[in-house]
């Protein structure tokens, strides 16, 4: 068991970490989307507030939520994702 | 015939032809790696093309016609639901990501089935997955052809059969000639057309409606439910809307036509760029198109058929020539989905069935002939079916997305990240996924949605349980990619 751990391809460790980041990001994305939509949108329509003419639940959940997701994706890719070669180094033909 | 709409659209189709022919020249240059080139574009896609081909493949008739049409009826609740698709922009590439790319190269995998075959080393897995792809995606493709032809019909006034013919010829010519690279490159052009088209149309609709506050006011005075997250009749529940995160969000990892794109890119830098571009483009298209659907309601009330909302509103608020260009976007979306599916189904037939079981020692020339031939024949069959669609086709199409997701998501994801994954788990998971999806579909139709969620949610859970249980109970063994790689290298040397 220990042996397989040690000899694991270094690129796979990076891949595993990035996959976990993907799951985390999707969870965050979901919570934001769900929280604003139903948190602000469950009131009676007469009590709605509006941002740029759009209902505030929609604006924060879908518009701001989308922009936030894009910013997070950019930051995560920039600071946490590592470039790796896809072909094998030791070519022993 | 409406020439002022037709001319820009024909211009668009000509550009696509041109690109197909150009890409095929590149194809011809590289001789012996023909299969990899034709079906995977030589694994050379850069970031922009990769992102666009994923978005364009995924964004089909439903994102441009069906989805906005439903938003027109249901209001903002459906836009909220549609926005769950933004996650696909980054999730698929982050999850499959580098590990899939590396392993696909080690396995020399061209198709998703190749990957599964090497990972699980099981004939049953190959046959099951090839069968699922051919049946489900073939039906999905035929349904898209019908949508494409209807769109051309409604825009130009030519008959359905005539429209179908134009559509079929344009798709077939460049898929047959250009292969995967032509498809991916034209996807990029089509994706760009989609983004620009949605912005133009959204702005025109807002102006025609007298500004956003005015439109919202009209919607509230018609039916206040239209601006809530709960749908026009208050029947979009939290659980139901959230379950679309599986169907059109994270579950997309399991769609073969998307997964295969995750092995086609050149480098990790390209993949990083694609993550960002893909998220932005998906979000913009989904947000704009569905908002257009809702905003169209006060401007053109009383549209009965949802699919016609976008064509009608475009011709209403835009000058004809511009409507022609903008409406090229949904046509682009449908065509790019169709051509990707066509190439995927034919790669399954040629690579996974013909080369695996019928003629493993086929010469390059024979493979070439088979690839062109199968692609063309499949296209002609779809054309014949779409002329007079049989009920079975419509029926199978209903299962296409959810059924494929339930079948493939765990064999792919667990095969990558869980060392105890084995063929028994994969087989059990695929069978459980497909059968429980079909069974639940009938249950939900008869009695309403079980637990209030979309049909896809429970089969995905069940196929996960089946995967884990069968992998642990039968033939439990930790899989080492490193040992597997040593064996693969030795096999290669042995030859």
ipTM at complex level: 0.89
CA angle centred on B281, ends B17 and B195, rounded to 5°: 55
Q: Could you tell me which chain B residue has the CA closest to the CA of A16?
A: B417
A33 touches chain B (CB under 8 A): yes
Q: Give the per-residue pLDDT at B136.
A: 82
Longest dimension (CA), chain A: 74
**Chain B residues with beta carbon closer than 8 angstroms to that of A31:** none
pLDDT tens, position by position, B405-433: 999 999 999 999 999 999 999 999 999 99
Interface test with chain B among A4, A11, A13, A15, by most B beta carbons within 10 Å: A15
Q: Give the per-residue pLDDT at B174.
A: 65
Q: Give the per-residue pLDDT at A2.
A: 42
Residue B393's pLDDT band (cuts 50, 70, 90) = low
Q: Give the per-residue pLDDT at B326.
A: 79
If one counts every other C-beta atom within 10 angstroms of the C-beta of residue B76, the result is 30
> Residue A1 pLDDT > 50, yes or no?
no
Q: Could you tell me which chain B residue has the CA closest to the CA of A78?
A: B272
Q: Give the per-residue pLDDT at A54.
A: 94
A74 touches chain B (CB under 8 A): yes
Measured in degrees and rounded to the nearest 5, phi and psi for residue B425 equal -60, -45
Q: Give the per-residue pLDDT at B291.
A: 95
pLDDT tens, position by position, B445-466: 888 888 888 888 899 999 999 9
Instruction: Say how far apart CA B428 and CA B388 lie, in whole Å.
Output: 36
Q: Which helix or strand (DSSP H or E) is residue A22 part of? A: helix A10-41
Q: How close A60 gets to chain B, by Cα (Å)?
A: 11
**What does the pLDDT average to over A8-22?**
90
A31 touches chain B (CB under 8 A): no
pLDDT tens, position by position, B290-314: 999 999 999 999 888 777 888 889 8
Place of tokens 């602000």: A40
Q: Which helix or strand (DSSP H or E) is residue B115 part of? A: helix B112-120
Instruction: Say how far apart CA B264 and CA B270 lie, in whole Å.
Output: 11
Which carries the bigger pLDDT value, residue B493 or residue B199? B199
CA angle centred on B120, ends B117 and B121, rounded to 5°: 65
Instruction: Say how far apart CA B326 and CA B8 lie, in whole Å.
Output: 9
Instruction: Say how far apart CA A41 and CA A48 lie, in whole Å.
Output: 8
Comparing CA positions, the residue from B143, B146, B149, B347 lying closest to residue B257 is B347
Q: How close A40 gets to chain B, by Cα (Å)?
A: 10
**What does the pLDDT average to over B109-120?**
90
A68 touches chain B (CB under 8 A): no
Binary contact (A8, B482; C-beta < 8 A):
yes
Are B366 and B358 in contact by the 8 Å Cβ rule? The answer is no
Name the B residues in 275-334 with CB < 8 Å from any A CB: 275-276, 279-280, 283, 287
pTM beyond 0.90: the answer is no
Instruction: Say how far apart CA B84 and CA A33 lie, in whole Å.
Output: 8
Looking at the partner chain, which of B76, B105, B227 has a beta carbon nearest the beta carbon of A87?
A: B105
Asked which of B205-214, B339-348, B431-440 is least confident by mean pLDDT, the reply is: B339-348
A79 touches chain B (CB under 8 A): no
Comparing CA positions, the residue from B194, B195, B187, B456 lying closest to residue B342 is B187
Report the Cα B69 to chain-centroid distance in Å: 19
Q: Share the mean pLDDT of chain B.
A: 84
Are B59 and B282 in contact by the 8 Å Cβ rule? The answer is yes
Q: Give the per-residue pLDDT at A5.
A: 47
A15 touches chain B (CB under 8 A): yes
> Residue B210 pLDDT > 60, yes or no?
yes
Report the Cα B323 to chain-centroid distance in Å: 25
**What does the pLDDT average to over B36-47?**
71
Are B336 and B190 in contact by the 8 Å Cβ rule? The answer is yes
Supply A42's token pair.
Answer: 């469950």
Coil, strand, or helix at residue B313?
helix
Q: How close A10 gets to chain B, by Cα (Å)?
A: 11
**Chain A residues with beta carbon closer than 8 angstroms to that of B99:** 11-12, 15-16, 19
**What does the pLDDT average to over B393-411?**
81
Measured in degrees and rounded to the nearest 5, phi and psi for residue A55 equal -55, 140
Binary contact (B212, A54; C-beta < 8 A):
yes
- Residue % of chain B over a pLDDT of 90: 31
Binary contact (B238, A34; C-beta < 8 A):
yes
Q: How long a stretch of residues is chain A?
A: 93
> Residue B315 pLDDT > 80, yes or no?
yes
> Residue B495 pLDDT > 70, yes or no?
no
Supply B386's token pair.
Answer: 């779409």
Chains A, B: CB contacts under 8 A, how many?
144
Asked which of B63-67, B166-170, B394-398, B466-470 is least confident by mean pLDDT, the reply is: B394-398
A71 touches chain B (CB under 8 A): no
Binary contact (B95, A15; C-beta < 8 A):
no
Binary contact (A66, B91; C-beta < 8 A):
no
pLDDT tens, position by position, B262-284: 888 888 888 899 899 999 999 99
Q: Give the per-residue pLDDT at B42.
A: 65
Torsion sign, CA atoms B336, B398, B423, B469: positive
Which carries the bigger pLDDT value, residue B219 or residue B5? B219
End-to-end CA, chain B: 62
Coil, strand, or helix at residue B62?
helix
Q: How close A76 gets to chain B, by Cα (Å)?
A: 10
**What does the pLDDT average to over A5-18?**
81
B488 touches chain A (CB under 8 A): no
Instruction: Say how far apart CA B220 and CA A8 lie, in whole Å.
Output: 59
Supply B178's token pair.
Answer: 């250009």
Angstrom CA distances, B401 to A66, B254, B285, B355, B408, stand at 24, 9, 20, 27, 11
Looking at the partner chain, which of B91, B101, B267 has a beta carbon nearest the beta carbon of A26?
A: B91
SS3 letters across B129-177: HHHHHHHHHHHHHHHHHHHHHHHHHHHHCCCHHHHHHHHHHHHHHHHHH
B15 touches chain A (CB under 8 A): no
Looking at the partner chain, which of A53, A65, A69 has a beta carbon nearest the beta carbon of B211?
A: A53
Q: Give the per-residue pLDDT at B473.
A: 93
**What does the pLDDT average to over B41-48?**
72
pLDDT tens, position by position, A39-93: 999 999 999 999 999 999 999 999 999 999 999 999 999 999 998 888 776 544 3
**What does the pLDDT average to over B176-200?**
77
- Residue % of chain B over a pLDDT of 70: 91
Q: Which helix or strand (DSSP H or E) is residue A66 part of? A: helix A65-80
A55 touches chain B (CB under 8 A): yes
């Amino acid at each position: 068991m220990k042996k397989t751990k040690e000899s694991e391809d270094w690129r796979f460790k990076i891949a595993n970490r990035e996959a976990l980041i993907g799951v985390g990001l999707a969870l965050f994305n979901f919570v934001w989307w769900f929280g604003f939509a139903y948190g602000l949108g469950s009131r009676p329509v007469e009590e709605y507030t509006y941002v740029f003419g759009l209902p505030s639940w929609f604006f924060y959940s879908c518009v701001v939520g989308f922009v936030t997701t894009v910013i997070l994706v950019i930051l995560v890719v920039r600071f946490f994702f590592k470039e790796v070669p896809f072909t094998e180094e030791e070519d022993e033909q | 015939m409406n020439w002022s709409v037709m001319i820009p659209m024909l211009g668009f189709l000509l550009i696509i032809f041109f690109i197909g022919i150009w890409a095929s020249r590149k194809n011809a240059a590289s001789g012996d790696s023909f299969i990899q080139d034709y079906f995977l574009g030589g694994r050379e896609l850069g970031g922009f093309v990769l992102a666009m081909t994923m978005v364009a493949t995924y964004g089909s008739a439903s994102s441009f016609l069906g989805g906005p049409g439903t938003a027109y009826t249901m209001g903002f609740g459906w836009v909220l639901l549609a926005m769950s698709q933004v996650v696909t922009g980054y999730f698929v590439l982050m999850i499959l990501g580098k590990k899939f790319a590396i392993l696909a190269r080690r396995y020399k995998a061209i198709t998703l089935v190749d990957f599964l075959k090497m990972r699980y080393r099981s004939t049953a897995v190959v046959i099951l997955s090839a069968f699922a792809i051919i049946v489900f995606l073939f039906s999905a493709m035929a349904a898209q052809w019908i949508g494409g032809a209807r769109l051309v019909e409604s825009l130009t006034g030519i008959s359905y059969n005539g429209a179908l013919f134009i559509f079929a010829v344009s798709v077939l010519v460049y898929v047959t000639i250009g292969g995967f690279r032509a498809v991916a490159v034209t996807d990029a052009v089509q994706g760009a057309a989609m983004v620009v088209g949605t912005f133009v149309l959204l702005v025109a609709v807002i102006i025609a409606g007298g500004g956003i506050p005015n439109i919202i006011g009209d919607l509230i005075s018609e039916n206040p439910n239209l601006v809530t997250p709960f749908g026009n009749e208050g029947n979009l529940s939290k659980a139901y809307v959230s379950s679309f995160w599986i169907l059109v969000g994270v579950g997309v990892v399991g769609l073969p036509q998307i997964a295969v794109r995750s092995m086609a890119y050149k480098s990790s830098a390209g993949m990083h760029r694609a993550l960002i571009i893909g998220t932005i483009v998906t979000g913009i298209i989904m947000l704009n198109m569905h908002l257009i659907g809702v905003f169209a309601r006060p401007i053109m009330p009383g549209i009965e058929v949802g699919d016609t909302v976008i064509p009608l509103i475009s011709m209403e608020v835009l000058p004809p020539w511009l409507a022609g260009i903008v409406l090229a976007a949904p046509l682009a979306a449908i065509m790019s989905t169709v051509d990707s599916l066509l190439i995927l189904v034919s790669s399954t037939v040629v690579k996974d069935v013909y080369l695996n079981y019928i003629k493993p020692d086929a010469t390059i020339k024979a493979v070439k002939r088979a690839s062109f031939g199968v692609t063309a024949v499949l296209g002609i069959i779809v054309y014949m079916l779409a002329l007079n669609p049989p009920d079975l086709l419509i029926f199978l199409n209903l299962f296409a997305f959810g059924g494929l997701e339930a079948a493939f998501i765990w064999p792919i994801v667990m095969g990558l990240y869980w060392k105890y994954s084995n063929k028994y788990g994969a087989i059990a998971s695929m069978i459980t996924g497909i059968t429980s999806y079909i069974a639940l579909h009938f249950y939900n139709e008869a009695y309403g949605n079980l637990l209030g969620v979309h049909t896809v949610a429970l089969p995905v859970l069940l196929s996960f349980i089946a995967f884990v249980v069968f992998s642990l109970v039968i033939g439990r063994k930790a899989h080492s990619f490193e040992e597997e790689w040593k064996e693969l290298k030795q096999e290669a040397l042995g030859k």
